Amino acid sequence: MQPMTDVDPKNEATFTTTVIKSDLNETGAVTQQVLDELSRCGYGEQVSFAVKLALEEALNNAIRHGNAGDASKTVTVRYAVSAQKVVLIVRDQGNGFLPEAVPDCTTPDRLRMPTGRGILLIKAYMDEVCFRDCGREIQITKRRDSTGLPTCTDGDTPVRHTVFFSGRVQGVGFRYTAEQIAHRFAVTGQVGNTADGRVELIVEGAQTQIEEFLSELGRAMKDNIEASRITASPVTGEFCEFTVVA
């Protein structure tokens, strides 16, 4: 690792540089390096969560798609954390791609396909996203004064929905189906069983993303859902992903 001195997010020569193998098991250490630097500089939990999520998605894309899992290739991560913002650059050794050619994973014909979700999440949680060198390199920026919550380029305001599902919803794979579907959208939250036989689902994100997620879940589990009750409230940013809880 190349140490940082006199960090300047506008000068890439001052960035810390780390090179890892094309192995998902290698990503934890560099992610922790960035989180430790954010903590040292006094960044809040919400911004740190957003940076962690985006960096993990960028690394996953670089290893799985950019380098196609080729163990002989590497991924280079460069980053700078200043008092105002954090800038990260992730570069793979693949053949590159056209970001604008990646299909929209939220369209009805693509909902069951996982590809494109990573880019969607990165764009939702970062303040600036830029692809360079034919897609081999992605530069992402998060400002210190950002809320850390997902942003929406179409003006769709982030919201929080809590949904209680009743019917034959426990023990039939409902929670894991919800988790799999949620991963196709730019949403975070959790889903779990309740003591009274229902399932509680909490989801945060853009209104349209939540509506499409719940619609897809409803279609997938329509034979098991007898009723649902939904309430809306302000977002909290407490989740960094969508998970199943006991």
Token code pair at residue 89? 């650059």
Q: What CA–CA distances, in Å, run from 103 to 62, 72, 126, 132, 245?
A: 18, 29, 20, 19, 31
Euclidean distance between CA atoms 55 and 233, whole angstroms? 28
Euclidean distance between CA atoms 80 and 129, whole angstroms? 15
Euclidean distance between CA atoms 105 and 57, whole angstroms? 15
3-state secondary structure of 141: strand
Catalogue the active-site residues: 175, 193
Token code pair at residue 71? 């163990």
